[in-house]
Amino acid sequence: MADMPRAKTVIALGPVRRKISPMSEIAFENSYARLPEHFYAKVQPANVRNPQLIRLNANLAVTLGLDVDWLASPDGLAMLCGNRLPAGAEPIAQAYAGHQFGGWVPQLGDGRAILLGEVLGTDGHRYDIQLKGSGRTPFSRGGDGKAALGPVLREYILSEAMAALGVPTTRALAAVLSGEMVRREQALPGAIFTRVASSHIRVGTFQYFHGQSDTQGLRDLADYAIARHYPAAQNSEQPYRAFLELVIAAQARLIAQWMHLGFIHGVMNTDNMTVSGETIDYGPCAFMDAFHPEKVFSSIDRNGRYGWGNQPVAGHWNLTRLAEALIPLLADDVDDAKATAEAAIATFVDHFSDHYIRGFRAKLGFKPDGGSDSNDAFISGTLTMLAEQKIDYTIFFRQLTKLAAGGDKEALSAQFFDSNSFDDWFEQWREIAQPSAPEFAKRLVMMRAANPVRIPRNHRVEEAIQQAYTGDLTAFNRLVAATVDPFEENSEFAEFEQAPTPEQVVCQTFCGT
Ligand code: AMP
Ligand code: MG
């Protein structure tokens, strides 16, 4: 394969250059807008009448090297709502395609999102700054390009909680009320969300060019994605294969992390899967309370395609679509290219299983490298028991952590309705974990870091949204504050640890688009 074309850097994504902006405005870079014109449409955000800041993420702004005071000023607010474009912004809507619930859609694209540009953060990384809900684009199809307040708050809460939980994710820089109503099943207050991402390149972005047999576009996109996310692949014998394998590894790890936390993405369509390995598109997602492997929340996921335990299957399916899209770049000979794609895809299972098992070993206080196969069988047995006993997933692992730290058994055994099951299970756990062994202290540190005290439970998210619709942001702000430090006990936020009462349980979530 020595004659394979090497990935070239089409865009200089060089070292951080800090521009000094006299207005304290944002020093935008626009590397994506330098890609060929059919990669995007140039658009202008719509003006809104009466914008009001809901929340600004000052910590994130600092990481991005942005001036917090300027962002909070009337000029900053004008940018965050799309009313005023800072110098240097070149707003675009990105083109992409995708498989939605298995059905091919050759053109989707940013229908209600506009990329203002990129910034170079103080950490040396490049970030997209995107407005979600700021009006129609050429990809809007029948939609209004707007967002209602509820989905904006949900994305803010969930994406910031995921970041705090240590999961790669897009971030929330700000949420702004537009001062206008949007029409859904009923009229709802409109809002604009400022999303920050390592990039918005999706599996579906590759599918877009592949679907049009545009091999040059595919190559330009792959070169760009390699330069931006996986520069080490440039030095590989087969850069595009290396790229594919790196995306597969990143996604396998991501999906395992979701599962360790009881997170269900809900809409794992190929247009909602990044090549960076960040969680994106917080639509009908949720953390589960009582554990069940087939748990689904999304109102549109009728067949459980994206249920908790099916997420690795869905991820593997999506990554196979990415591999297919990359075939024209993988080798000159189609059979060679297919063999390369298949070999890459075959690595998913090992990557996923490795992360999945290691994460559960950490959650249970087991040795990171395991012991015997029976320990792995104990993990699946534990999950079966949790489902049978309808035990709250987060509380179970946190109570186990407390017990392992010397707490008493009662708080954990109280989670079981069948005490014999608990006694059997507990004896086996103690035998494998050996909590009295001197080196257990190290494993306790890992347990604490793997088992959060607080997650943004669905009923709390719903409560925050419903209260916000009455004009009161107290519950929203408090929930965001409660999930900033999810692994630390904090009596001030004790109510967020609790499982919902039967009346509080939220069974379904909606995209709200
Ligand atoms: P999602 O389900 O959020 O991944 O969105 C799927 C597709 O629908 C994307 O192309 C979105 O840009 C588009 N879309 C979602 N909501 C709207 C809306 N309100 N207006 C226009 N396009 C939308
Ligand atoms: Mg999407």
DSSP string of 221-284, one letter each residue: HHHHHHHHH-GGGGGSSSHHHHHHHHHHHHHHHHHHHHHHTTEE-S---GGG-BSS--B---SS
pLDDT of residue 21: 45
**Rounded to the nearest whole angstrom, what is the distance from the C-alpha of residue 271 to the centroid of ligand 2?**
6
pLDDT tens per residue across span 282-328: 999 999 999 999 999 888 998 899 999 999 999 999 999 999 999 99
Per-residue pLDDT, averaged over 49-77, amounts to: 96
pLDDT tens per residue across span 85-108: 988 899 999 999 999 999 999 999
Per-residue pLDDT, averaged over 457-482, amounts to: 98
Per-residue pLDDT, averaged over 228-247, amounts to: 98
Query: Is pLDDT above 80 for 492?
Result: yes
Yes or no: say if 415 and 389 are a contact pair by the CB < 8 Å rule.
Answer: yes
Active site positions, annotated: 271
Question: Is the pTM of the predicted complex or chain greater than 0.75?
Answer: yes
- C-alpha–C-alpha distance, residues 440 and 201, integer Å: 42
- Does the beta carbon of 511 sit less than 6 angstroms from any atom of ligand 1? yes
Nearest CA to ligand 1 atom 15: 513
- Per the document, the length of the chain is 513
pLDDT tens per residue across span 114-138: 999 999 999 999 999 999 999 999 9
**Confidence grade of residue 512 (pLDDT, cut at 50, 70, 90):** low
- Does the beta carbon of 190 sit less than 6 angstroms from any atom of ligand 1? no
pLDDT of residue 376: 87
pLDDT tens per residue across span 3-26: 444 444 344 454 444 444 444 588
Please identify which residue in the block is written with the tokens 């099943």: 185
**Rounded to the nearest whole angstrom, what is the distance from the C-alpha of residue 400 to the centroid of ligand 2?**
37
For residue 417, what are the contacts with CB-CB under 8 A and spacing of at least 6? 389, 390
pLDDT of residue 369: 86
Decide which of 512 and 310 is more confident.
310
With pLDDT > 70 as the criterion, what percentage of the chain qualifies?
A: 94
pLDDT of residue 420: 87
Query: Is pLDDT above 90 for 248?
Result: yes
Average pLDDT of the chain is: 93
pLDDT of residue 294: 95
- Does the beta carbon of 114 sit less than 6 angstroms from any atom of ligand 1? no
